Structure 1
Amino acid sequence: MKIKHRLTLRFIFQLVVSGIVVLLIAAACAWWILLRLADMSVTQDFTSVGLERLVESSELSKDGIRFDPHLLEQVKLNKGWLQSLDEHGRVDLSYNTPKDVPLNYAPGELVDYWNKAKPFPYDIYLWIQEKDGKLFTIIYGTKNEMRLLLEEINQHPAVTPAGQVELPASLQERVRKLGAYIQVLDASGSEVASYNRPASVPQKYTVQELVLRATYSDRYGFRIASNYQEDTKYTWVMGLPLSSGDATGEQGLIPEELRIILIGIAAMFGAVSIVFLLFSAWNAHRFGSPMLHMLAWIESIGRGQYNEPLDRTGQPLSRKRSGKWRRRYAVFADVMQSLHKLSTTLQRDQDLRQQTNMLRDEWIAGITHDLKTPLSSIKGYAHMLAAENYEWSTMEVRKFSSTMLDKSEHMDTLINDLALTYRVNARIQPPEMEEIELNSWMQEMLTHRMVHPSWGAERIIFKPAEVETTVMLYPPWLERVVHNITANALMHNPPDTRLTISIRRDAQAMGGMIVFEDNGMGMDEVTANRLFDRYYRGTDTSVATEGSGLGMAISKGLVEAMGGTIQVETALGQGTTIMVLFCLRIDS
């Protein structure tokens, strides 16, 4: 799989995971908001919402009915009590029930208590519902001390002209203990008198405001009860704080429901932000570390240090001790492998360049030696001829001149080889290709143009092909190739070495082949691999005065310039075979 596909899949996977995490956080916050709103509704209106949830969450077992412990705790916090009745009005389960509450109800008795037709110190609420084939009758009661206290106060009404309510000491004590207050309103809703009224409670009411305060006590912080006296046209109002010690009587700036929603939303955004920060840090470590490592590697390559940066233990940062990729580097495996290949190539090229420079220096030293040797001879003979105190004979002058001419030709050969090797390196093209028949051309070449006194005619054996082999070549270049290969084979091997030159037809490759085989010493692998390098000499320049050490490099360049190939097969002690292959142009 390519790196772009791996990165695409990795980023898609991360986006999906992050989306799922965000959805889970949002779901958790929404669930918390719903639970809080439900708890608040149970707290504020247990008589309707709480009783319904109590019945819905109940379970029937062998021991009887069981209610949700959380809702039972809410009953206790509301200072209420709970009873479950069977079909006959008997109590089969009770919770937090006071001693003055009956354990058995007659049908009419329960109705009178519920309708307040019969005195009862509690406000009761009924919930009747069928569940699992059984009819539930749940009684929820709360002690209405405020209404009872208001009824007692109405039995001793006393309003002073100064706007004070006179109460017996026992009633004053009960009012203060409850933290309640009393107001007396006239027919217009204005306060006539009050007792223990907080400053936050208004002194004048409209009909609508009094109804709202009585209905939605949670919005104002007080539960109120009222009693209208027909004879005096006074309305007696008693208020009781919803929570002990909280008598502000005013709702906060933000309603409780909205506060819960805002808290939930803030918690969701906070959790999502934390998750994204952690995800960003993890993502930076996951993808940033390999990128920084690759950048550091590239910088080290720019400084000429090609090996991958290592950790403290000397191991490559991208791999484990077993050699496998570390997880965060696996996605960049293609890039890391490319960097490794680049480093290997640059290191090899640097080593080759250093080796080439060293060989070039050695070659320059050798070629300088080869040039100085004939130049020294020429200079010496020139000094001898120019000497005034000695007269040379005609024979001696001719001998000196012949030697100087030979040395000059050798220097010319060296200079021409040096120039030709640079022309070959620049990939020159042959002036004009000619059609030649290799059998006859090679026979003529060996007979007339390649006679050398140090080689000996008997050391070269020619084997023509059985059929004519015609190719398109540039004859002067081919002559130079044959001369260089022949000279290399005969000059750098023992005197008894024989060279066989064969012309062959290669039907499979559709070409003509010139094969040079000698039975000499052969070459080792290093020499064979560097045989055609420009600055490589397998032997020291002092072995022979002829030759420039560039012959094989020139031969390879000329063969390739004419569209051919050259190969070598050799081993120490087994001789050397050099094959020169050209494309066959005309078959006969």
Structure 2
Amino acid sequence: MRLKHRIAIHFFTQIFVTFIATFFMLVLFLIAGMHLLAKTELISNPKKAIVENLPYSSLFKEDNHIELNETWQDALRENNIWMQIINEDGKVIYEHNTIDSSLKNEYTINDLLRIEETNTLGNYTVETYFEVWEPQPYYFLFGYLEEQQMLLQNWYDTYGDNGRVEGDNENRLEEEINKHKGMLEIYQDGKLINTIGKSIAPKRKPLSIIGSMHVPGNFETKVTVLNDDTENISWVYHELNDTYTERIVLFFSNEELQIIILITLVSLIIPFILSFWNGYRYGKPLLLLINWLKFVEQKQYDTVLHGLEHKKIYRKNGKVKFRYRIYKEVFESFSKLSEKLSLADQERARLEKTREEWMAGISHDLRTPLSSIQGYGHMLESDQYDFSREELQQIGTVIRDKSEYMVDLVNDFSLVFQLKNSAITIQKEQVDINSFIQNAVEKHSHDFTLYRNQITFEPSPISCVAAIDPKWFIRVVDNLLSNAIKHNPPETTIHVKVNCEHDQTIITFTDNGKGIAKEDINKLFNRYYRGTNTTEQTEGEGLGMNIANAIVELHGGKILIDSKVNKGTEISIIL
């Protein structure tokens, strides 16, 4: 699996797990919040809380079987509320706290419409709720007696005179109110005109009275109101709320506090676990990579490739450990990079050593002719010798030969770097290779200084024409012939052969000399390599084979070498 896919799967898994955990936490918070809200509302306005929240707590099962938890059952009893649940056929399938035998077990459509319109059933005030979340609809009826409302209505009818209470009626009404430990306030046109009974509540602003009606549990007194629109009179009856102080203090139960604490702890633990997991899965490998970078910066490649850091990540069988597998490709690439850098460092050290050896050789090659030139110069300058004409010609010849050798040496330096930087362009032309190579061989074979070497030529039996740049290609032939002569003992036989076949031109240089060691063959094209097949010092700066190979490559060809020590060497140019 590719790195980007593996990282994508890891992050998807993390996001999915986070989503699931967050979802469940939100659900728990929502349930806890709804529970606390329902309990708060049950304290402040029991009837409203029961009507709005009890249907959500009813558990509907098959065959119209319904379960209701004990908390809601107790709430119904404490607030003197009965409940009936009606199915789609109008039949009562569940009821609780229905002590009145006059309540029906089945309702007609007319009964239900009358309840929906008047919110009454006999003497009961009825609140309704229509359940739409279940597969089939259910209709909830919650009934209760408005005893205080009926009592207040009776007092109004008995003692009131157009809403006012005066004289003996006021005294008799006060006795009734004191029996119930209440207090009556009468308002007309927005003003308090009469207070009957002992004061059990401070004077309130209009909105406080409305609040006592909506959330009676939040106030010290419960309020019952009767309005007479004709006289614009309102009777407000106050009665002590015995449970007010107790309910406010006991807002949270021990069980609820435990739930809140548990949810809070889980909410903290989940991010901590995810952070630890992220640090372990993503952070630790990155720290190891940073350490590897430091080791590479300090060129401690063995520590990365074989040391303790390597053992942290790789098993004995060479595979990446599971906890680091997400960055498998990164570690493998880093290991390969470290290996390449280690090899490059070793190669650089080797090249540096070779360069120093080559520079020493070049210094020697330059020092030898310079010493001759310098020596003859001192002799001519000293005026201590009386040279003959022949001696002066001999000195001049030596100085010229040595100077020409140095010029050729410098030219070769320049040529090597031009070839390296591709600063040389060749002008190809169609050339008869048989004639071209034959002329080059004859130039060497006719050199009287090489009379002890036998150089032969074998042309191709068929016409052989190739596209070459004669100016540069002759340098290749000369370098190969010179090397064969220079690095082999006298009486070495050198055979040059041209062969044209299958759209290829092959020029082969074969000798029966000392040969080249196997480990040296691949180094012959190195700019700084001289070879180790001879113990004596030979002239040359070790550039001939490098120059020859670069020129052949410019022609689109290649040079192949096959050699055996003490048996000879075969060098082939393939165009």
TM above 0.5, yes or no, is: yes
Distance 1:5 1:434 in 2: 56
Q: 1:428-439 residue pairs with structure 2 within 5 A?
A: 428-429=423-424, 432-439=427-434
Q: Is the 2:412–2:543 contact (alpha carbons within 8 Å) kept by the matching residues of 1?
A: yes
Q: Aligned partner of 1:330: which letter? A: I
Distance 2:531 2:343 in 1: 22
Q: Does 1:218 align with 2:211?
A: no
- How much does 1:375 deviate? 3.4
Q: 2:527 aligns with which of 521, 534, 551?
A: 534
Q: Which residue of 2 aligns with 1:501?
A: 496
Q: Which residue of 2 aligns with 1:239?
A: 239
Q: Does 1:478 align with 2:476?
A: no
> What secondary structure is seen at the aligned counterpart in 1 of 2:355?
helix
- How much does 1:425 deviate? 3.0
> What secondary structure is seen at the aligned counterpart in 1 of 2:358?
helix
Q: Aligned partner of 1:240: which letter? A: L
Q: 1:557 aligns with which of 550, 553, 563?
A: 550
Distance 2:23 2:241 in 1: 41
> What secondary structure is seen at the aligned counterpart in 2 of 1:70?
helix
Q: 1:420-435 residue pairs with structure 2 within 5 A?
A: 420-429=415-424, 432-435=427-430
Q: Which residue of 2 aligns with 1:547?
A: 540
Q: Aligned partner of 1:538: which letter? A: G
- How much does 1:552 deviate? 1.0
- How much does 1:498 deviate? 3.7
Q: Is the 1:184–1:237 contact (alpha carbons within 8 Å) kept by the matching residues of 2?
A: yes
- Alpha carbons of 1:13 and 1:54: their partners in 2 closer, same or farther (altered >3 Å)? closer
- Unaligned regions of 5+ residues in structure 1, if any? 85-92, 108-113, 117-122, 130-135, 176-180, 249-263, 583-588
- Alpha carbons of 1:140 and 1:503: their partners in 2 closer, same or farther (altered >3 Å)? same
Distance 1:305 1:315 in 2: 12
Distance 1:17 1:373 in 2: 81
- Alpha carbons of 1:439 and 1:269: their partners in 2 closer, same or farther (altered >3 Å)? farther
> What secondary structure is seen at the aligned counterpart in 2 of 1:364?
helix
Q: Aligned partner of 1:568: which letter? A: I
Q: Which residue of 2 aligns with 1:183?
A: 184
Q: Aligned partner of 2:197: which letter? A: S
Q: Does 1:330 align with 2:326?
A: yes
- How much does 1:310 deviate? 9.6
- Alpha carbons of 1:209 and 1:581: their partners in 2 closer, same or farther (altered >3 Å)? closer
Distance 2:234 2:538 in 1: 144
- How much does 1:537 deviate? 1.8
- How much does 1:534 deviate? 0.9
Q: Aligned partner of 2:72: which letter? A: L
Q: Is the 1:146–1:238 contact (alpha carbons within 8 Å) kept by the matching residues of 2?
A: no
- Per-residue Cα deviation, 1:57-106 (whole angstroms, up to 9, x for no partner): 47799xx9964233234346x3659899xxxxxxxx99999xxx99x999
Distance 2:58 2:380 in 1: 135
- Per-residue Cα deviation, 1:504-554 (whole angstroms, up to 9, x for no partner): 2241xx221111233444434442222111112213997244323211112
Q: Aligned partner of 1:216: which letter? A: H
- Alpha carbons of 1:457 and 1:50: their partners in 2 closer, same or farther (altered >3 Å)? same
> What secondary structure is seen at the aligned counterpart in 2 of 1:539?
coil
Distance 1:106 1:20 in 2: 48
Q: 2:409 aligns with which of 414, 420, 433?
A: 414
- Per-residue Cα deviation, 1:310-351 (whole angstroms, up to 9, x for no partner): 999423877667532766773683x66666555555554444
Q: Which residue of 1 aligns with 2:353?
A: 358
469-478 or 271-280: bigger deviation: 271-280
- Per-residue Cα deviation, 1:393-435 (whole angstroms, up to 9, x for no partner): 7776666666555545544443443343333334343665443
Q: 1:181-580 residue pairs with structure 2 within 5 A?
A: 181-183=182-184, 185=186, 190-195=193-198, 197-199=200-202, 216=214, 218=216, 221=219, 222-224=221-223, 237-241=237-241, 243-245=243-245, 313-315=308-310, 322-324=318-320, 330=326, 333=329, 344-380=339-375, 407-429=402-424, 432-451=427-446, 456=451, 459-495=454-490, 497-507=492-502, 510-539=503-532, 543-570=536-563, 572=565, 575-580=568-573
Distance 1:304 1:501 in 2: 50
TM-score (norm 1): 0.63
Q: Aligned partner of 1:323: which letter? A: K
- Unaligned regions of 5+ residues in structure 2, if any? 85-93, 105-120, 131-138, 159-164, 228-232, 249-259
Distance 2:487 2:303 in 1: 45
Q: Is the 1:164–1:194 contact (alpha carbons within 8 Å) kept by the matching residues of 2?
A: no
Q: Which residue of 2 aligns with 1:69?
A: 70
451-460 or 293-302: bigger deviation: 293-302
Distance 2:426 2:234 in 1: 134
- Per-residue Cα deviation, 1:240-262 (whole angstroms, up to 9, x for no partner): 316342699xxxxxxxxxxxxxx
Q: Aligned partner of 1:68: which letter? A: N
> What secondary structure is seen at the aligned counterpart in 2 of 1:245?
helix
Kindly report the root-mean-square deviation, in angstroms, between the aligned alpha carbons of the 2 structures.
Answer: 6.2
- Alpha carbons of 1:545 and 1:106: their partners in 2 closer, same or farther (altered >3 Å)? closer
Q: Which residue of 1 aligns with 2:115?
A: none
Q: Aligned partner of 2:470: which letter? A: P
Q: Is the 2:516–2:569 contact (alpha carbons within 8 Å) kept by the matching residues of 1?
A: yes
Q: Is the 2:426–2:554 contact (alpha carbons within 8 Å) kept by the matching residues of 1?
A: no
Distance 1:288 1:560 in 2: 50
Which has more helix, going by share of residues?
2
Q: Is the 1:146–1:240 contact (alpha carbons within 8 Å) kept by the matching residues of 2?
A: no
429-438 or 303-312: bigger deviation: 303-312
- Alpha carbons of 1:329 and 1:571: their partners in 2 closer, same or farther (altered >3 Å)? farther
- How much does 1:225 deviate? 5.3
Q: Aligned partner of 2:214: which letter? A: Y
> What secondary structure is seen at the aligned counterpart in 1 of 2:542?
coil
Q: Is the 2:3–2:326 contact (alpha carbons within 8 Å) kept by the matching residues of 1?
A: no
TM-score (norm 2): 0.64
> What secondary structure is seen at the aligned counterpart in 2 of 1:435?
strand
- Alpha carbons of 1:286 and 1:214: their partners in 2 closer, same or farther (altered >3 Å)? closer
- Alpha carbons of 1:382 and 1:74: their partners in 2 closer, same or farther (altered >3 Å)? same
- Alpha carbons of 1:72 and 1:291: their partners in 2 closer, same or farther (altered >3 Å)? same
